Structure 1
Amino acid sequence: MAANASAVFDLPPLPTYTLSAREPLLPPIPDNVLALILPIIAYWGLSMVYHFIDVNGYFEQYRLHTPAEVLKRNKVTRWEVVRDVVLQQIIQTIAGYAMSYFDAVEVVGREDYDVAVWATRLRLLQTVIPSTLGFVGVDALGLSESLYHSGHSVLAGVLAGGSYRNLVQSMVLDNGVEVVAPAFASWELSVASIIYWYLIPGLQFALAVSILDTWQYFLHRAMHLNRWLYVTFHSRHHRLYVPYAFGALYNHPVEGFLLDTLGTGVGYLVSGMTSRQSMVFFTFSTIKTVDDHCGYAFPWDPLQHVTSNNAAYHDIHHQSWGIKTNFSQPFFTFWDRLLNTQWKGETKLRYERARENAQKQLEADIVQAQKETSISAPSLERERDRVVVSLDGPATRTRFRRKTVDSLKGPSHAVPGSVLHK
């Protein structure tokens, strides 16, 4: 790519480039496929860390709910949660792969060119400095001349409107003519590199996060304000009155697709991210969602302190008394604060009452189970002593089926034995 002659003398020429397909980050897995795999790995990896903490009873002082609450208040088993989360992730992967199928092949090779484009914009921006300073009575050109003779050539060039006397380069045009052209200052290339490699991706990430938060807030709020939407779809997620990490994506499949899959997909597309940027966006969004449902308020967890939207904040939304508030997720609480849907009432006593009620229910179930066991014990002995005499053969004992306590069936939900056998 050659620059024309007029551009050579006015501005530093832009470098030529050759495009080539981007190599996968982890060959042979394509980047668009890896962007779909990493969030799933992050989801279950982080969830199992929290699950390990949960079942082993570590950091009890930071739990938002007691084991008795997990057992008595949730209306769905953990295996049902796992089943529905896996289903959502399958749908999410299929939809993501279908979307990436239409993406153009990503190429590399023009990075230096793009950095030079931003350096050119900085050079053009400097051209307004003399007139701007002249508007307030400063002789920019005279000051530039003085600075140049005192050894401050870079600052002199800035005040002169981007005219750097000593920054030149020789180049050969397509017709074989060698010419002298302006060159970029090192600070221009450095700032342009920061803009291209860090500022632009940072702004893209911020835009994607803002789109995701906005998408999820209004759709999530609609799921609560519209009775049909709530009963048909969103009520499933609220079977978890006591959230835990791997229940973060426990949703109706339709809701999961609309809320999570489409929300992140729209954020990715509108922000213009690359596949590698989407890896960070998708994976970090997943980690934040898991952390918001972890059930622990850790003082050292950075994800719970960067923004006010954290596990404690979202847990209020899962309680019957806070279900019409705290709709924001997964990053910021901007929309809750703006639209006055943030919980502002007292929480301590409400949590204490929930803990006490759950503990009483658990203890009542244990007492009932003990009574039924003590009643059935004499009957068991009598049944063992009974025989049936058959004319066709020897005496055979009748079968006895032990009665189980329905309230204690299923997984223990990480309730320590000391609690179950109080």
Structure 2
Amino acid sequence: MSNSTAAGGIPPLPSYILSPLPPLIAPIPDKFLTLIFPVVAYWALSLFFHFLDVNDYLPQYRLHTPTELLKRNHVSKRDVIQDVLIQQFIQTVIGILLGMTEPEDVIGKENYDVAVWATRIRTGQRLVPGLLSLVGLNAAGIASNVARSYPILSGFLSGGNYPWLTNAISLSSGDVEIVPAFAAWEVIAAKAIYWVLVPALQFSLAVLFMDTWQYFLHRAMHSNLWLYRTFHSRHHRLYVPYAFGALYNHPFEGFLLDTMGASIAFKFAGLTTRQGMWFFTCSTIKTVDDHCGYALPWDPLQHLTGNNAAYHDIHHQSWGIKANFSQPFFTFWDRILGTTWTGDVSGKYERSRKSAQRAADREVSGTPDVNEPTNGIYDGDSSHQIGITSAKSPLGGLKENLKPSISTSRQSAELREDSESGGPRILADETEDEKEQRIAPRRSPRKKSGNPTPSDVGSLKGLRERVNGSLHGRSGGVLGLESSR
């Protein structure tokens, strides 16, 4: 295709030949990479944070202690992974269908498109004299005065008149024709618009749409009791979020909130297949990072936006469940509509840590408590209960089991309570534990003295030293939670 005519001093548009865009990673087509990259990113980043969890690395940056991971969650790792895989299967199927509606990506037209933007810039300069006249300036006179020293500025003030800028082109007949040419600054500006500004605007529109879609649907899931009980309560079985639980949802909620939201954002912003590849992957990485359970000072994702792991973790607590609905990128809807958590959180997090620790201590010592679930680690199978005082060391249990400590006999009832209320049972347990803590020194002098009996040393000392080291080695300030407003 060609366009070699020039009118009104406008340079002609160049010819171009289209060809298929080579795949980013040959021989896999970009449409398949768009489906593969988000899944790979999800599990790669999740395994990194899981590695930190099971080895108790960087404990000073953890939002919750290992004991809280064991005691407060109401779902097993196996069930979490199963639901995530189901959602990723649905996501892949929708991605395949979406890819069938997309045209093939081609190359060869880039210079033509840059020239189109340069033409728009040249045409826009025709407004300059009129605009200057509105403020009492004579554009023609100024242009004449600076013509010798600053010819480009003179041409700009004259309304894009650059008669000395020409280019020779060959015609199909073999003749050579002299035509107008673009100024260097026009070409640079056109390239910046085409390669930077337009893609940035597209990504911004996609992010704006996705944040809007997820905020209002997410808030509706909490405002409507039926929606919460039927769908969203499943995600809130994770009172202590961890990375690979980011997409742990009811399949329909996952389809509606994440898959459909991202798909419509992709179409709404007019992204290409390759742009969509990065948009879907970045969205996935951001979602995993928001559920990672770490406030890492060197994690750029936790500083680019206030919607980070510490911010979203508040929403997973029983006391913060009606706030911080924004996800996955920014928090502007929470700020605009007044749903940002504004209270102090350090004391609440400290009570949760102590509550989980006391429950673990009772579990190790065998002290019964009607307010706590039966001691044991639930692994998703009613026929398997692994007590912390088993042949495994307490430390090994903390490292290897990110599973909720919950009685099989009470699991169904507790999950029903969660689905109905979104967390009051946990809140009641923690409140009860706070009361118990105030009277514990009078009724349990042995615990106050810190001298366990010989029979307790093998199982209790290692657990307490390990977990209390993480618990008492940091303050709320380390987590950066007091300022979560």
Does 2:3 align with 1:3?
A: yes
RMSD, aligned α-carbons: 2.2
**Aligned with 2:399: secondary structure?**
coil
Q: Please name the residue that 1:395 is paired with.
A: none
> Residue by residue, what CA displacement relative to the aligned partner does 1:353-383 show, whole Å, maximum 9, x if unpaired?
111111111111111289xxxxxxxxxxxxx
Q: Please name the residue that 1:13 is paired with.
A: 12
Does 2:67 align with 1:82?
A: no
**Aligned with 1:241: secondary structure?**
coil
Q: Please name the residue that 1:59 is paired with.
A: 58
**Aligned with 1:295: secondary structure?**
coil
**Aligned with 2:366: secondary structure?**
helix
> Residue by residue, what CA displacement relative to the aligned partner does 1:159-196 show, whole Å, maximum 9, x if unpaired?
11111121011234556664322100011001100100
Q: Please name the residue that 2:454 is paired with.
A: none
The one-letter code sitting in structure 2 at the alignment partner of 1:203 is: L
Report how far residue 339 of structure 1 moved. 0.8
CA distance in 1, matches of 2:186, 2:172: 27
> Residue by residue, what CA displacement relative to the aligned partner does 1:127-182 show, whole Å, maximum 9, x if unpaired?
111121122222211221221222x1111111111111210112345566643221
Map 1:202-281; keep pairs closer than 5 Å: 202-281=200-279
CA distance in 2, matches of 1:420, 1:95: 48
Q: Please name the residue that 1:329 is paired with.
A: 327
CA distance in 1, matches of 2:400, 2:321: 26
> Are 2:102 and 2:273, in contact at CA under 8 Å, matched by a contact in 1?
no
Q: Please name the residue that 1:307 is paired with.
A: 305
**Aligned with 2:292: secondary structure?**
coil
**Aligned with 1:127: secondary structure?**
helix
The one-letter code sitting in structure 1 at the alignment partner of 2:33 is: L
Report how far residue 4 of structure 1 moved. 6.6
CA gap of 1:134–1:311, structure 2 versus 1, over 3 A, is: same
CA distance in 2, matches of 1:64, 1:415: 19
The one-letter code sitting in structure 2 at the alignment partner of 1:154 is: I
> Are 1:140 and 1:160, in contact at CA under 8 Å, matched by a contact in 2?
yes
**Aligned with 2:271: secondary structure?**
coil
Q: Please name the residue that 1:200 is paired with.
A: 198
Report how far residue 8 of structure 1 moved. 4.1
CA gap of 1:257–1:412, structure 2 versus 1, over 3 A, is: farther
Q: Please name the residue that 1:317 is paired with.
A: 315
Count of aligned residue pairs for this structure pair:
388
CA gap of 1:257–1:220, structure 2 versus 1, over 3 A, is: same
Q: Please name the residue that 2:412 is paired with.
A: none
Point out the more displaced range, 133-142 or 253-262: 133-142
Q: Please name the residue that 1:108 is paired with.
A: 107
State the TM-score, normalizing by the size of structure 1. 0.87
The one-letter code sitting in structure 1 at the alignment partner of 2:159 is: G
**Aligned with 2:147: secondary structure?**
helix
Q: Please name the residue that 2:426 is paired with.
A: none
> Residue by residue, what CA displacement relative to the aligned partner does 1:226-254 show, whole Å, maximum 9, x if unpaired?
11111111111001000001110111111
> Are 1:292 and 1:314, in contact at CA under 8 Å, matched by a contact in 2?
yes
Report how far residue 9 of structure 1 moved. 4.7
> Are 1:119 and 1:184, in contact at CA under 8 Å, matched by a contact in 2?
yes
CA distance in 1, matches of 2:464, 2:261: 42
The one-letter code sitting in structure 1 at the alignment partner of 2:354 is: E
> Residue by residue, what CA displacement relative to the aligned partner does 1:292-337 show, whole Å, maximum 9, x if unpaired?
0000111121111111110000000000000011000011111111
**Aligned with 1:144: secondary structure?**
helix
Percent of aligned pairs with the same amino acid: 55
Report how far residue 420 of structure 1 moved. 7.3
- Which structure has the larger Rg over C-alpha atoms? 1
The one-letter code sitting in structure 2 at the alignment partner of 1:233 is: F
> Residue by residue, what CA displacement relative to the aligned partner does 1:69-104 show, whole Å, maximum 9, x if unpaired?
100000011121111111111111111011101211
Q: Please name the residue that 1:189 is paired with.
A: 187
Point out the more displaced range, 106-115 or 411-420: 411-420
Runs of 4+ in 1 over 6 A off after TM superposition: none
The one-letter code sitting in structure 1 at the alignment partner of 2:270 is: G
CA distance in 1, matches of 2:139, 2:248: 64
Consecutive unaligned residues in structure 1, runs of 5 or more: 371-402
Report how far residue 421 of structure 1 moved. 9.1
CA gap of 1:173–1:203, structure 2 versus 1, over 3 A, is: same
Q: Please name the residue that 2:455 is paired with.
A: none
Map 1:99-138; keep pairs closer than 5 Å: 99-138=98-137
> Are 1:366 and 1:420, in contact at CA under 8 Å, matched by a contact in 2?
no
> Residue by residue, what CA displacement relative to the aligned partner does 1:361-411 show, whole Å, maximum 9, x if unpaired?
1111111289xxxxxxxxxxxxxxxxxxxxxxxxxxxxxxxx986654999
State the TM-score, normalizing by the size of structure 2. 0.76
